[in-house]
Chain A
């Protein structure tokens, strides 16, 4: 086989492989992703098996601890809709009532159960927000 043709075949094979991989990447990322929802969206409806990324604020006065499990309500950033969340394990240091959190949850009955280690608290600069209760 002449070399230029060989190179062309090589190029086509390489590009094909790259495209296949990129396709797999795109496909799996959509099926493995968890959709971001606000508490009121989740309250309006959710599939039991699917995981969602819940974003909102920890409602004031809602945090209860039972053993290593914490239950709390997450409310809309600016609004009143809220959903109950059960989370087992240690929470990040900045976790606090009124703090903005992101947690991956699945619905089990009427409660949203947080995935282990998925709770993230939006933090550092928001250190200021503790001084500014208006926020």
Chain B
């Protein structure tokens, strides 16, 4: 089986290189059959990599320890669910996942555009295969996943306990889907630049891929935040860790791109900007993979293995140099078809929104790479912490939320102050009401959080007002009842109303972020059974300890009774699981069960208004003499006897519990983050959903009409009304 996997990867590298050559030859000589052959090379790549991926999955499922990767990342006792996911816990497996997802999305986009974009697609094919060839090369030469030994060990190391969480199934594939899907618009942009076909056609053809990339990457980032909140025993969802930042940066530039392309589609402006944005996004996606996989920056996620550093740096260097050269050499073709008419227009609001997003990305980039920058400039490594990030990102995010409310209601080309005043009056009133209501409640001492609440109310009421107006207009035309009118309205313009929903979702998400970071109460306390602590108005009492042996771990925990004003609210059961170490020599046959990795299962009571969060760190120091004695007396005993000894030690902990350290957090509105995210995902799905044939006809007819108007200027007397109807469209 290992031979099959290795052969598939070598063939994949060959096929990718062949495909690049065939596409380039085909497009230079105009021979379509070579172009088609290059495209089929992508399908072949997808097939080969799929086979390789399946081979590796099967090896993991069968616990075939003759594979080095399986032996070091799985074990016979690993639950099946985690055997499946253990594939991408390894360096090699995650690179294989990358190229697999890349080959799938490349195949899909090239299949869908096979009759279109004749000049652009071959270059895009070559670019996508360039990514494929690079990752295939990594898998063949630098991180081979099918390395085998003749003498397989009897048992594997098992999956790192920290990765045993349901999110492991979905968080890495989501992130990688996002990264690889961003390669699609990247490749088509490169194609459009080389072929000098710089209208909006490549943008339209890859729009849904860009949106899907944005959606997947965003979901991946949020799942990571959620995972960190519920697993790491730390109680936060974002720490400005280099790897978190690495996934956020392409998402931010991707968000900017999704907005600014609308200006190119409608007005033929900002072409340099759009090309640069998507090229930067693609490069940042590769950089994100590189950061996680090379361990160049210290991070909790730094998975080490620096053998990949050099090839990645070369690859990223080539991408950057190529992108800059392409944009500069095509600057004449990239010239704007129009000028910005007014500072008060949709275009200029989008432009400001873009600048804010790119500024945000730059701040994060600077902070993330500051250790390297500082080392280059001063010779000493230095790093910046969360307070530095917060100082810049908070105001920028506030500006962003404001713009997400203003943007949708400003007319294209030129808006008047009077119309703006009319549409923004009620939303501004709503924001003011929120201010007036919240200040007496004590929100006034956190002005930034308060500003976020007001801005979120503003955005929500802008969108509500827009929906209400649309529904009313529709009802007047069709006599439909309101719900039906709403559905029809959204269906007619999915992209627009999906976008609105995303705005509302993001505003709700940031309300959660602002409230939970400004108004959270956290305490670390050491309690003995019977003692209690007061946090944020809640009394938490350590009722009794728990000890349990299950799923190859020892769980020591606590029953915590939560009361408010004497009334019971809930009971929390935080535990800490100790996984065995494999190092018998250092820790002894019994001690190794307590000295391995440990993970927290937090006791969480989530609610619409506040989360009660607890984690426990049991003190096993008092058990050490008993463990040492166990090591001495039961070194030669059978596994069953040792199991009984461990059970006895756990029972002893339960009987005579030493004090334990608790982290208790009472944090408001955390649930709003996840709810807001779900709403945003819903909005993105509405925008992404395939449009029916009728709607597409209407859209293309509208586009054709616009083109007709543009190439045949309307007579001067009628120019003004024409502009206005377009602004309303």
Chain A contact residues, CB within 8 Å of chain B: 3, 21-22, 25-26, 28-30, 32-36, 53, 55, 65, 67-68, 88-94, 96, 102, 104, 115, 117-118, 120-128, 130-131, 133
Contact = CB atoms under 8 A, between A and B. Distances in A.
A65 B621 contact: yes
A5 B207 CA distance: 36
Interface string B608-622: 000000010101010
26 contacts: A28-B391, A32-B387, A33-B370, A33-B382, A33-B383, A36-B371, A36-B381, A68-B526, A89-B663, A93-B233, A94-B162, A94-B597, A117-B234, A120-B300, A122-B298, A123-B160, A124-B162, A124-B301, A124-B303, A125-B160, A127-B160, A130-B581, A130-B596, A130-B597, A131-B157, A131-B581
A51 B526 CA distance: 27
B649 interface: no
A131 to B, nearest CB: 5
Interface stretch (B209-217, B282-290, B582-590): B582-590
Q: Is the interface of B mostly helix, strand, loop or mixed?
A: mixed
Contacts of A28: 388, 391
Contact of B663 (A3, A25, A32, A90): A90
B202 to A, nearest CB: 28
Q: Is the interface of A mostly helix, strand, loop or mixed?
A: mixed
A93 B339 CA distance: 56
A35 B617 CA distance: 30
A90 B525 CA distance: 9
Interface string B125-142: 000000000000000000
B90 to A, nearest CB: 8
Nearest to B305: A125
B232 interface: yes
A84 B385 CA distance: 22
Given A130-B597, A131-B582, A93 B232 contact: yes
A134 to B, nearest CB: 11
A90 B383 contact: no
A24 B371 CA distance: 17
In the complex, which range does the number of interface residues on chain B fall in? 35 or more
A38 B210 CA distance: 44
Interface stretch (B257-265, B359-367, B413-421, B553-561): B359-367
Contacts of B598: 93-94
Most chain A CB within a 10 A radius of its CB, from B91, B236, B385: B385
A68 B661 contact: yes
B304 A125 contact: yes
A53 B703 CA distance: 57
A6 B359 CA distance: 24
Nearest to B241: A120
Most chain B CB within a 10 A radius of its CB, from A25, A89, A125, A131: A125
A90 B367 CA distance: 26
A123 B300 CA distance: 6
Contacts of B583: 130-131, 133
Contacts of B582: 130-131
B599 interface: yes
Contacts of B707: none
Contacts of A131: 157, 581-583
A32 B384 contact: yes
A93 B599 contact: yes
B381 A35 contact: yes
Interface in B341-395: 359, 362-363, 366-367, 370-371, 374, 380-385, 387-388, 391-392
B91 A125 contact: yes
A67 B576 CA distance: 18
Contact of A65 (B298, B371, B619): B619
Given A35-B380, A93-B232, A104-B385, A128 B72 contact: yes
Contacts of B597: 93-94, 127, 130
A21 B359 CA distance: 9
A121 B300 contact: yes
B300 A122 contact: yes
Contact of A67 (B380, B388, B526): B526
Nearest to A70: B661
Contact of A122 (B302, B586, B615, B619): B302
Contacts of B615: 90
A99 to B, nearest CB: 10
Given A25-B363, A29-B367, A33-B374, A125 B383 contact: no
Contacts of B581: 130-131
A28 B388 CA distance: 8
Most chain A CB within a 10 A radius of its CB, from B362, B387, B388, B525: B388
Contacts of B599: 93
A129 to B, nearest CB: 9
A14 to B, nearest CB: 8
B385 A34 contact: yes
Interface in B525-568: 525-526
Most chain B CB within a 10 A radius of its CB, from A65, A91, A92, A130: A130
Most chain A CB within a 10 A radius of its CB, from B233, B300, B387, B582: B300
A118 B384 CA distance: 11
Contacts of B524: 68, 88-90
Contacts of B236: 117
A128 B233 contact: no
B647 interface: no
Contacts of B675: none
Nearest to A66: B526
Nearest to B596: A130
A64 to B, nearest CB: 9
Given A68-B526, A92-B234, A53 B382 contact: yes
Nearest to A89: B524
B392 A25 contact: yes
Contacts of A133: 583, 585-586
Contacts of A21: 359
Contacts of B233: 90, 92-93
A-B pairs with the 6 shortest C-beta distances?
A: A36-B381, A33-B382, A125-B303, A127-B160, A35-B382, A68-B524
Given A117-B236, A121-B300, A124-B163, 5 more contacts: A35-B380, A92-B234, A94-B598, A130-B582, A131-B581
